[in-house]
Chain A
Amino acid sequence: MTVPTSRIPKATIVAIAAGALLAACSGAGGAGSSSGGHSINVLMVNNPQMVELQKLTAANFTKDTGITVNFTTLPENDVRDKISQDFSNQAGQYDVATISNYEIPFYAKNKWLLPLDSYVAKDKAFDQSDILPSMTESLTADDGKLYGEPFYGESSFLMYRKDVFAQKHLTMPSAPTWQQVADLAAKVDGAQAGMKGICLRGQPGWGEVIAPLTTVVNTFGGTWFTKDWKAELTSPAFVKATKFYVDLVRKHGESGAAQAGFSECLNNLTQSKTAMWYDATSAAGSLEATGSPVKGKIGYVQAPVVSTKSSGWLYTWAWGLQKASKNPSDAWKFISWASSKKYEELVGQKAGWANVPAGKRASTYTNPDYLKSAAAFADVTKASITSADPRNPGTQPRPTIGIQFVDIPEFSDLGTKVSQEISAAIAGRESVETALSKSQALAEQVAKKYQG
């Protein structure tokens, strides 16, 4: 071992002494619940699909297997901090966590995750071949082993209000370009009182504004890094794409754009405050759910493009099994259940088919029950996911995998810092050029690590 970890405990022996008395007589409050053997701890992001899972677990999974599942749900930013902390230290407090296809490759490289191949091989009912190939690919690390199972998968697409477009005598092409979308946004802006043309994320965070923006950059012909790790944030294509994005959202986008993320835009479309929205395909479930005021009024088309054929992103919240887990086989049982066809059917019956955690299995898109309620968006979703190419998403070769992110550990920090600059540009506090030249400096520092 290296020095620090072995030194700290020595340095803090007095602290042990101070705490030992209390710790010794604590008993009750301490002792992880995993000691019971048949219980596992799961850390997950607080998205509606996960909340549903939490509600269905006790009455189904626990009833069938006798394994108690202790959930911790946190908002996205918090959950990432928490997961990286627990996994990087191999603290083993959680057996399973929701990890995205961004983290899986380098978590696997650092040996923080347990490969799942042997469990998959033994678990015939799980049927790995049913998982969409682009999903399996993005969850497989460089060593060729599988390190995650998708809970749901998504790409991005454009959503628009069919009724508003009809009323304005506008038609949405099935494969729109970004220029067409910008023109349409200008025309539908103000179609109803308080309705804006389009909603685009502006909230800081590498998983917030950076995700849609990077797909726009890709299709405009830009990239974060060239194949040989040169930062390209001030290249003409990157600047042009960013200017386009910032201008569009400033002119015809939602108010409060610099603080708007997925949920703000979802709310805007639901409340008729925007006519279009470019975001994750998983949004369709909420828009078409029973009780949604815009149910049946939304049209879905593929992600707008410029110089690529498709430009949807690829993202999945997947289950990762921590290497330090004390109950890996119980944990696999949970993963296998949560990502199964059976679970999708359970959600379909209990909560409605539109809420099914979809986008991961081919069989979902041949299920007549699912297709009946998801007809509006099922095909375009599947097409977007299968056409997404995480190895080659733009017009030039990339140094690593990833469409709306660069798959290096530094990207979460770099992306977050850059997103704060972009967000400031969206808020009108600085120009796009200033934002990007500051960002370029940050990206160059990161690139240095990888060059040569």
Chain B
Amino acid sequence: MTSTAVVALPPAARRARRKGAALGLLAWLVGIVFVLPVLWMVLTSLHSETDAATNPPSLAASLTLDAYRNFFGAGGGASPWPALINSATASIVSTLLVLVLATPAAYALSIRPVKKWTDVLFFFLSTKMLPVVAGLLPIYLFAKNIGMLDNIWLLVILYTSMNLPIAVWMMQSFLSDVPVSIIEAAQIDGARLPTILARVVGPIAGPGIAATALICFIFSWNEMLFARVLTSVVAQTAPVFLTGFITSQGLFLAQVCAASIVISLPVLAAGFAAQDKLVQGLSLGAVK
């Protein structure tokens, strides 16, 4: 786990140790402050709608799973599964597509760089600076004309384009860590590009690639602007489904909290499980 780079405490000095304990306590406090809204959301989701909207808050109100039951379509509501499956499809497929496109591109920008590779890198990055909303209308009209509205594959393509620049950019720096001599040695042995990528580059840049994939997955799963404009019945994604629980007429707190938690769960699980990899990957990748 997290036992590495810990500084061996300078010998003795009780004062330092006391200070250490105080800082540890502070870290705990800040951690609790940050997680408190999330915990409160969990508690709210377990209350009835009336108990969820009281002031002062009803901490001790009886707990119920009604909001979750309702979310999963008990009593005739819409089932969340199609939306969750759509989100999973869009996020996973677009992430894979990003890796497939970004890895060779990053290779051509770092290990065997093309001329003016910096300009190419800037081009990729500059596409991230364009306001997404400005492209929304043409994409909508285009999708309408070729019958791709409400089609999850359209989102796959758009999410790929959304994440590709960041992925190229991050992976370019991961791949710069791979010593050229190893690759040249492999080339002399007659290995071709795919083999080199899989056998030589992969293992070294592995954690970085994993971190990139995780970030792409998170951003795709969270995306909402494209999804709300381009999907309707069949391809609706989870975040859009979530907004369907907000109503301007009536109480909805517990319901929205329950829905938020379920919909964030895949990202929370992936993030918690992979946090070490993420730190590790980012620390390799931050180097240009």
Report A-B touching, CB under 8 Å: yes
Contact A22 B250 (CB under 8 A): no
CA distance A439 to B144 in the complex (A): 36
Contacts of A12 in B (CB 8 A): 138, 142
Asked whether A16 is an interface residue with its Cβ less than 8 Å from the other chain, the reply is yes
Contact B250 A263 (CB under 8 A): yes
Chain B interface: which of A44-52, A297-305, A369-377, A378-386?
A44-52
Asked whether A186 is an interface residue with its Cβ less than 8 Å from the other chain, the reply is no
Asked whether A441 is an interface residue with its Cβ less than 8 Å from the other chain, the reply is no
Contact A30 B148 (CB under 8 A): yes
From 84 to 135 in chain B, residues with beta carbon under 8 angstroms from any chain A beta carbon are: 86, 89
Instruction: Find A267's partner among B53, B89, B150, B244 (CB 8 Å cutoff).
Output: B53
For the complex formed, measure the closest distance between the CB of A157 and the CB atoms of chain B, giving whole angstroms. 16
For the complex formed, measure the closest distance between the CB of A360 and the CB atoms of chain B, giving whole angstroms. 17
Instruction: Find B78's partner among A8, A54, A283, A291 (CB 8 Å cutoff).
Output: A54
Instruction: Find B249's partner among A32, A71, A194, A263 (CB 8 Å cutoff).
Output: A263
For the residues of B in contact with A, the DSSP-based class is loop
Nearest residue (CB) in B for A34 is B233
Contact B148 A19 (CB under 8 A): yes
Asked whether A142 is an interface residue with its Cβ less than 8 Å from the other chain, the reply is no
Contact B153 A23 (CB under 8 A): yes
Contact B249 A9 (CB under 8 A): no
Contacts of B76 in A (CB 8 A): 54-59
Nearest residue (CB) in B for A50 is B247
For the complex formed, measure the closest distance between the CB of B31 and the CB atoms of chain A, giving whole angstroms. 30
Contacts of A336 in B (CB 8 A): none
Contact B153 A93 (CB under 8 A): no
Nearest residue (CB) in A for B53 is A267
CA distance A43 to B154 in the complex (A): 21
Instruction: Find A47's partner among B144, B146, B233, B247 (CB 8 Å cutoff).
Output: B247
Contact A26 B151 (CB under 8 A): yes
Asked whether B61 is an interface residue with its Cβ less than 8 Å from the other chain, the reply is no
From 227 to 281 in chain B, residues with beta carbon under 8 angstroms from any chain A beta carbon are: 228-229, 232-236, 243-252
Contact A22 B232 (CB under 8 A): no
Asked whether B194 is an interface residue with its Cβ less than 8 Å from the other chain, the reply is no
Instruction: Find B229's partner among A32, A57, A85, A283 (CB 8 Å cutoff).
Output: A85
Asked whether A204 is an interface residue with its Cβ less than 8 Å from the other chain, the reply is no
Contacts of B154 in A (CB 8 A): 19, 23
Contacts of A263 in B (CB 8 A): 247-252
Asked whether B171 is an interface residue with its Cβ less than 8 Å from the other chain, the reply is no
Asked whether A266 is an interface residue with its Cβ less than 8 Å from the other chain, the reply is yes
Instruction: Find A93's partner among B145, B146, B232, B248 (CB 8 Å cutoff).
Output: B232
Contact B247 A48 (CB under 8 A): yes
Contacts of A76 in B (CB 8 A): 248
CA distance A73 to B153 in the complex (A): 23
For the complex formed, measure the closest distance between the CB of A313 and the CB atoms of chain B, giving whole angstroms. 15
For the complex formed, measure the closest distance between the CB of B265 and the CB atoms of chain A, giving whole angstroms. 22
Given A46-B246, A51-B77 in contact, is the A29-B232 Cβ separation under 8 Å? no
Given A59-B76, A73-B78 in contact, is the A78-B153 Cβ separation under 8 Å? no
CA distance A166 to B142 in the complex (A): 63
Nearest residue (CB) in A for B253 is A267
Task: Bin the interface of chain B by size.
Answer: 35 or more
Nearest residue (CB) in A for B89 is A29
Contacts of B236 in A (CB 8 A): 72
For the complex formed, measure the closest distance between the CB of A429 and the CB atoms of chain B, giving whole angstroms. 23
CA distance A31 to B234 in the complex (A): 8
Contact A22 B153 (CB under 8 A): yes
Asked whether A407 is an interface residue with its Cβ less than 8 Å from the other chain, the reply is no
Asked whether A366 is an interface residue with its Cβ less than 8 Å from the other chain, the reply is no
Asked whether A86 is an interface residue with its Cβ less than 8 Å from the other chain, the reply is yes
Contact B244 A89 (CB under 8 A): no
CA distance A89 to B145 in the complex (A): 10
Contact B53 A271 (CB under 8 A): yes
Contacts of B250 in A (CB 8 A): 47-48, 263, 266, 286
Asked whether A5 is an interface residue with its Cβ less than 8 Å from the other chain, the reply is yes
CA distance A41 to B54 in the complex (A): 37
Contact B233 A72 (CB under 8 A): yes
Asked whether B218 is an interface residue with its Cβ less than 8 Å from the other chain, the reply is no
CA distance A26 to B250 in the complex (A): 40
Contact B141 A8 (CB under 8 A): yes
CA distance A85 to B140 in the complex (A): 10
Contacts of A46 in B (CB 8 A): 244-248
Residues 2-37 of A, flagged 1 when their CB comes within 8 A of B and 0 if not, give: 000100110010011011001100100111110000
Contacts of B157 in A (CB 8 A): 18-19, 22
For the complex formed, measure the closest distance between the CB of B257 and the CB atoms of chain A, giving whole angstroms. 16
Residues 61-77 of B, flagged 1 when their CB comes within 8 A of A and 0 if not, give: 00000000000000111
Asked whether A261 is an interface residue with its Cβ less than 8 Å from the other chain, the reply is yes
For the complex formed, measure the closest distance between the CB of A315 and the CB atoms of chain B, giving whole angstroms. 12
Asked whether B170 is an interface residue with its Cβ less than 8 Å from the other chain, the reply is no
For the complex formed, measure the closest distance between the CB of A40 and the CB atoms of chain B, giving whole angstroms. 10
CA distance A41 to B235 in the complex (A): 13
For the complex formed, measure the closest distance between the CB of B187 and the CB atoms of chain A, giving whole angstroms. 31
Nearest residue (CB) in B for A43 is B232
Contacts of A144 in B (CB 8 A): none
Contact B148 A75 (CB under 8 A): no
Asked whether B156 is an interface residue with its Cβ less than 8 Å from the other chain, the reply is yes
Asked whether A206 is an interface residue with its Cβ less than 8 Å from the other chain, the reply is no
Asked whether A112 is an interface residue with its Cβ less than 8 Å from the other chain, the reply is no
Contact B141 A29 (CB under 8 A): no
Asked whether A170 is an interface residue with its Cβ less than 8 Å from the other chain, the reply is no
Asked whether A70 is an interface residue with its Cβ less than 8 Å from the other chain, the reply is yes
CA distance A91 to B229 in the complex (A): 12
Asked whether B152 is an interface residue with its Cβ less than 8 Å from the other chain, the reply is yes
Given A55-B76, A263-B251 in contact, is the A93-B233 Cβ separation under 8 Å? yes
Contact A23 B151 (CB under 8 A): yes
Asked whether A121 is an interface residue with its Cβ less than 8 Å from the other chain, the reply is no
CA distance A283 to B55 in the complex (A): 22
Contact A75 B246 (CB under 8 A): yes
For the complex formed, measure the closest distance between the CB of B100 and the CB atoms of chain A, giving whole angstroms. 12
Nearest residue (CB) in B for A46 is B247
> Could you list some 23 contacts between A and B, CB below 8 A?
A8-B138, A16-B146, A19-B157, A22-B156, A23-B148, A26-B152, A29-B235, A30-B151, A30-B152, A30-B235, A33-B234, A46-B245, A47-B249, A48-B249, A72-B244, A74-B244, A86-B232, A194-B55, A270-B50, A271-B55, A283-B249, A291-B50, A293-B50
Ranked 10 nearest A-B pairs via Cβ: A55-B76, A29-B152, A30-B151, A26-B153, A75-B246, A46-B247, A93-B232, A47-B249, A70-B233, A73-B244
If A30-B151, A32-B150 are given as contacts, then 11 extra A-B residue pairs at C-beta distance below 8 Å, sorted by A number, are A23-B154, A30-B148, A30-B234, A47-B250, A51-B247, A75-B244, A93-B149, A93-B232, A263-B250, A263-B251, A291-B50
